[in-house]
Chains A and B, each alone.
Chain A
Amino acid sequence: SQELEQSPQSLIVQEGKNLTINCTSSKTLYGLYWYKQKYGEGLIFLMMLQKGGEEKSHEKITAKLDEKKQQSSLHITASQPSHAGIYLCGADRNQGGKLIFGQGTELSVKP
């Protein structure tokens, strides 16, 4: 079974709408990363969360990590076509630097 579950797997939204992507683990995480990927390209770092209850924002993207450090959400406000891509959550389970990834959420934004 997937250790990091992302939902939804795909998402189509109208430009200007808000959206949320979730990432859930059954185990406590020591670091939670959000990346964006366009198909066939590398990963663009968005944010890293380490503390329970932590919340970070960058431009129109906000990521939160719950108090138990088992669930994270990525929220995009007023989505734009430039937000389209695959969003991946990655987690460091044991402070060793090795990341496991969720299966990704493919976001399409309709103009």
Chain B
Amino acid sequence: GAVVSQHPSRVICKSGTSVKIECRSLDFQATTMFWYRQFPKQSLMLMATSNEGSKATYEQGVEKDKFLINHASLTLSTLTVTSAHPEDSSFYICSAAPGGLSTDTQYFGPGTRLTVL
């Protein structure tokens, strides 16, 4: 299947700092990528849709100024957690579909575990 990578796989930061997470589609182009968050022992929750060349769309309850998304190219989307706090500690996963939305399989990255001290 298609490959999606994320970097870093783990990050530990101090409260108040910002953290950038990268999501790359390695062998296909993706005009749309999705960012999910998963708390321990819980399922994935969609945070936002990242659109190449335009603004991201955020799900209800997700602060767009706190979770900055940039989709600068067809193979890269970044999620920046600004002024991180301990409650932002979570597992962040991105996904992308090679053939576009809904008609093709969505492949997920390996995830990034964020720990905010």
Known contacts A40-B113, A41-B110, A103-B43; is-contact A96 B101 (Cβ 8 Å): yes
Interface status of B46 (Cβ within 8 A of chain A): yes
**Is the pair B93, A42 in contact by a Cβ cutoff of 8 Å?**
yes
Which of A30-38, A59-67, A70-78 is the contact stretch? Answer: A30-38
**Is the pair B34, A45 in contact by a Cβ cutoff of 8 Å?**
no
Residue in chain A with minimal CB distance to B102: A95
Residue in chain B with minimal CB distance to A33: B106
Interface status of B26 (Cβ within 8 A of chain A): no
Residues of B within 8 A of A48 (CB): 105
Known contacts A40-B91, A88-B44, A104-B43; is-contact A99 B101 (Cβ 8 Å): no
Interface status of A111 (Cβ within 8 A of chain B): no
* Interface size grouping (class) on chain B: 20 to 34
**Is the pair B43, A30 in contact by a Cβ cutoff of 8 Å?**
no
Residues of B within 8 A of A45 (CB): 1, 105-108
- Determine the distance from Cα of A13 to Cα of B113 in the docked complex, in whole angstroms: 30
Contact residues, B90-117 vs A (CB, 8 A)? 91, 93, 95, 97, 100-102, 105-111, 113
Interfacial residues, chain A to chain B (CB-CB below 8 A): 30-31, 33, 35, 40-43, 45, 48, 88, 90, 92, 95-104
Inter-chain pairs besides A45-B105, A92-B102, A95-B102, 14 sampled, C-beta below 8 Å: A35-B108, A40-B91, A40-B113, A42-B93, A43-B95, A43-B108, A95-B101, A97-B101, A97-B102, A98-B46, A98-B49, A99-B44, A99-B106, A104-B43
Interfacial residues, chain B to chain A (CB-CB below 8 A): 1, 6, 32, 34, 42-46, 49, 91, 93, 95, 97, 100-102, 105-111, 113
Q: Mind listing 6 A-B residue pairs with CB under 8 Å?
A: A41-B110, A42-B93, A43-B44, A43-B108, A99-B44, A103-B43
